[in-house]
Amino acid sequence: MHSQIQAVDDTPVKAPTRRALAKQQTRAKVLAAARRLFSEQGYEGATIRDIAAAAGMSTGAVFANFTDKSDLFREIMLTDMAALAEAMTEAATGGNGVEDALLKIFTAGYRFYQTQLPLARAAFSVGWSPQDGPALRNAPPVQALLSLFAEQLTRGEQSGELIADAAEPLRTQMLFDAYLSNYDQAIFQGWSLDALHTRSREQIRILLAGARRS
C-alpha cells in the first residue's frame, strides 16, 4: 500500500498550456480595465467597447471570456466581496468585546468602499436588481459575512456578555441589515467614517440590548 501511495504522490502535475496561460492573461487584462472604468464611470457609463479598448484588445476577445457586461461586473463584485469579508474578519479580531468587534466590522466595510465610490454605487445598484441581485446576495462571500456576524454573537454568549436565546439567527440578520442600510449614507450621501461610526454604534447597541445579561 505504501508503494501505491508513493506512486500517486510522485505523479507529475501538468503545467498549464500556453493557450490556457494566454486566456488567463486576457481575462486579467479585461478585469483590470473593467475595474478601472467601472470605478471612474460607474456601471452604466462603462461600455464593453470602452473596456476592450482600455485592455488593448477587441470586443470579440472580451466576449470570448465573458458573456456580457453584467457577467464581467459580477466577477469583479464577487472578488471584492471576498476581499471585503477578509478585511472585516481581520477587523473583528481586534475587538474588545462583542459590541466593539461588531463596530469594527461595520467600519471596515465602509472604509473598504470609501476609496472607490462609483464602483460601490454600481455594486449596490446591480446587487438589488431583479436580474442579478438574488444570485449575488446568496453568493458565498455574502454568506461568509453573515457567518461572521453570527460568530460575534456566539462569542458574546461564550464570554458571558450575551444570553443564548432562539432569537440569535434573527438578530444576526438584523445586524447585517443594519450594516447594509448605512451604505446609503456611506456611498450616496458622503457621510464621513466618524459619522458612520456613531450611527453604527447606536444601531449595534439597540440590537444587542435584548440579549445582554442583566
pLDDT tens, 83-114?
Answer: 999 999 999 998 899 999 999 999 999 999 88
Does position 21 have pLDDT exceeding 90, yes or no?
no
pLDDT given at position 41: 84
Q: CATH class for domain 1-66?
A: mainly alpha
Region 29-54: mean pLDDT is: 91
pLDDT given at position 5: 47
pLDDT given at position 132: 67
Between 73 and 11, residue with greater pLDDT? 73
pLDDT given at position 88: 94
Q: Looking at the domain that runs over 73-209, which CATH code has it been given?
A: 1.10.357.10
In order of 18, 63, 114, 148, 185, the CA distances from 104 in angstroms are 45, 40, 15, 12, 17
* Burial track 185-202 (b if 16+ CB lie within 10 A, e otherwise): ebbeeebeeeebeebbbe
- Give the pLDDT confidence of 109-161 residue by residue, as tens digits: 999 988 778 788 888 777 666 676 666 777 788 889 999 999 999 999 999 99
73-209 shares the fold of 1-66? no
Region 180-209: mean pLDDT is: 93
Region 192-197: mean pLDDT is: 95
CB hemisphere CA count around 83 (13 angstroms): 9
| pTM, entire model | 0.80
Q: Cell for 19? A: 493557450
pLDDT given at position 203: 97
If you average pLDDT over every residue of the chain, what do you get? Answer: 86
**Which amino acid, 42?**
G
Region 14-25: mean pLDDT is: 75
Domain ranges of the chain: 1-66, 73-209
pLDDT given at position 37: 92
In order of 3, 30, 125, 211, 214, the CA distances from 167 in angstroms are 54, 45, 31, 9, 17
pLDDT given at position 9: 55
Between 58 and 121, residue with greater pLDDT? 58
In order of 102, 110, 120, 179, 197, the CA distances from 186 in angstroms are 17, 7, 10, 11, 11
The answer to which of 29-38, 73-82, 97-106, 190-199 has the lowest mean pLDDT is 73-82
Does position 61 have pLDDT exceeding 80, yes or no?
yes
For residue 145, the 8-state DSSP code is H
Region 11-32: mean pLDDT is: 78
Q: Are 73 and 126 in contact (CB under 8 A)?
A: yes
